[in-house]
Amino acid sequence: MTPANESEHLRVNSEPEVRTAAGVVRGTWEDAVAVFRGIPYAQPPVGPRRFAAPVPARPWVGVRDALEFGPSVPRAGCAMSSVSGGTGDSGDWLTLNVWSADLGAAGLPVMVWIHGGKYLEGTSSNPHHDGATLARAGVVMVSMNYRVGVEGFAHITGAPDNRGILDQVAALRWVQDNIAAFGGDPGNVTVFGQSAGAGCVAALLTMPMAAGLFRRAIAQSVPGTYFSPRLAAAISATIAAELGVQATVGELAGILPRALTGATGSIIQKMPELVESWGPTALTPTPFSPVVDGDVLPHAPWRALAGGAARGIDLLVGHTRDEYSLFTARPGSEVTDEQVTATLERLAPFAGGSGGYRDAYPEASPGELDELVNSDWLFRMPSLHLADAQHAGGGHAWAYELCWAYNREQGASHSLDNLLVFGTLSIDDVRSHRSAVPNAADEAVRVAHHMRTDWLNFATTGNPGWAAYDPDTRSTRVYTAEPITQSYPEERSRHIWSRHRFDTLDLPRIQ
C-alpha cells in the first residue's frame, strides 16, 4: 500500500472529527460519506426558554459524539421513545445533521433540507430524507429538527409567532458559522423543503432576519395557507380549551408537550365541524401554518415576493400532478356531487358557474373534481403563483411539475418528488406495488437521476438547466419517464385561478 493510499484508508476508516464554534464533534464514515447526527444548533427550549426564540447552543469541552439523530417534538399518535430519532419530553429537539464526502476546505455547495409534516409532525431521522446520495453527488447536505405543532406554530400570548421558523433561521446561522469545516461553502447555500417545509422556505424568502443566510431556494409543493394572528389565536384557543387552559405562556408552560399533541389530535378530528368558525382552514389536514404577524413574517409570500423581497435569491418551485391523491386514497370512500359542490364553494367560490371546474373538466367524476380543487387550492396554484410573484418582483424563478408515477392508485402524489431527489424510493417497493405501471422500476431510476441532477445543478450554479419562468411562456420542466420542457401543463386550472390572489387567511367575516 502506498503512503497516499494508506492515508486515504485511514481517513475513510477512522472516526471523523470536526471543530465547530461550540466544540468538537465526532461522526462516522458510511460508504465514503462522513455523517454527523444530532449536533445541537440551539439550546433546548425548556423551562424559561419554552415557547421562546431559540438561543445558540452552549459550548462543550472535549469531543461530542454525533452518531445518533436527536429526538423530535412529540407527535400525535407516536409512542414516546428514547431511541435514536425518537420523540421525547426532554426538549432537546434543536439539532441538525451533516453529510459530507469531502471534509475540510473543499468549498462545496450546501443544501439545507427542511422537512414537511403539516407543521405538525416530521423529523430529520426520516430514512426517506437520508442525505448520503446527495452528498456523494457533490454537495454538503444538512437537515434539521425544528419545533412543530403547538411548540413551534401555535399563536401563544406572550411568545413570538413562528417559533419553528425561528429555529430554522438559527440552524441556517449555524451553517454560516460552521459549514466550511465540513467542506461546504457558506456563500453558496440552497435551502430546500417540501409541503410544510416548502411553506417555511417561502416564508424564509421574505423574512428580514433570514436575509443573507442562503443564496438559493427550492420550494416543493408550497401550501397556500398562511394565517392572520386572529385566525391563529382562535385555533390555539380551541386547542388549549381541550386541556382547560388558555393559550398563554403562563398556562401552557406547565403542560407536557405530549399532552399538547394529544389535545391537537382531538381538535384535528373535529376540524370539519369548525368550518363555519375557521373557514377553509378547517378543511385542511392541519390546524397550523405560519403566522403573518407583521414582525417575524411581515407579509404572505406572494405579496412579499411580488414586491421584490427575494429579488436576489434564485427560486426553483413546483409541485406534483396528483398532489391530493395521497390524502384521498381511501378504499370504499365515494365523494358525492353535493359534497363537491360544497367544497368548490368553500375553496374556490370564484370558480362557480360558467368557466368553473365543471366546465373546465367535463369528464371528471365527483371524486376527481374533489381531488382537483383540493390539489389546486392547497399546493398546485400556490406553487405556480409563487413563480409568478418572484418574476413580478424582478427575481429569477424556475418551475417544474412531476407527472411521472410508478403506481396507478396514487399517481404522481404529494411527496413522491422527495423520494426521487433523495434517491430513497425502493426499487423493490416499486416492483412489488399492486398497481405498478409497466417499466416502473427502470423509469424510477432514470427520473430520480434527472431530478436529482437538476436540483444539484441549481444548487451549484443557480440554473437547473431549462429556461427561467415568465408569465408569457410559462416554461416548465415536466418530469415524465423522460423529462421535457414545455408551457405549464395544468392550463385549465391555471385559467380558473388566474384572477385569484393568494394572501393571508383570516377568520370568516361573520366572526
Q: From CA 75, how far away is CA 462, in angstroms rounded?
A: 36
CA distances from 469 to 5, 131, 200, 316, 487 (A): 48, 28, 22, 9, 9
On the CB side of 117, CA atoms within 13 Å amount to 24
Closest CA to 407 of 385, 393, 425: 425
- Catalytic residue, chosen from 100, 414, 443, 490, is 414
Distant-in-sequence, close-in-space partners of 154: CB < 8 Å, separation ≥ 6? 232, 235, 236, 239, 247, 288
Based on DSSP, count helices (H) and strands (E) in the chain, helices before strands.
Answer: 19, 14
Instruction: Name the residue among 114, 501, 508 with its Cα closest to residue 299.
Output: 501
252 touches 260 (CB < 8 A): yes
Q: Is 323 a catalytic residue?
A: yes
Residue found by looking up cell 399518535 in the block = 77
Distance of CA 340 to the CA centre of its chain: 28
Give dist(CA 219, CA 463) in Å, integer: 15
495 is catalytic: no
Report which of 225, 204, 222 is spatially closest to residue 213, judged by C-alpha positions. Answer: 204
Active-site annotation holder among 121, 151, 323, 401: 323
Q: How far is CA 348 from CA 131, 182, 199, 341, in A?
A: 38, 48, 21, 10
Active-site annotation holds for 299: no
DSSP 114-179: E--STTT---TT-GGG--HHHHHTT-EEEEE----HHHHHS--BTS-S-HHHHHHHHHHHHHHHHG
Helix (H, G, I), strand (E, B) or coil at 24: strand
Give Rg (Cα) of the chain.
22
DSSP state of 70: P
DSSP 347-374: H-GGG-STTSHHHH-TT--HHHHHHHHH
Active-site residue identified among 125, 195, 228, 383: 195
Residue positions annotated with a catalytic role: 195, 323, 414
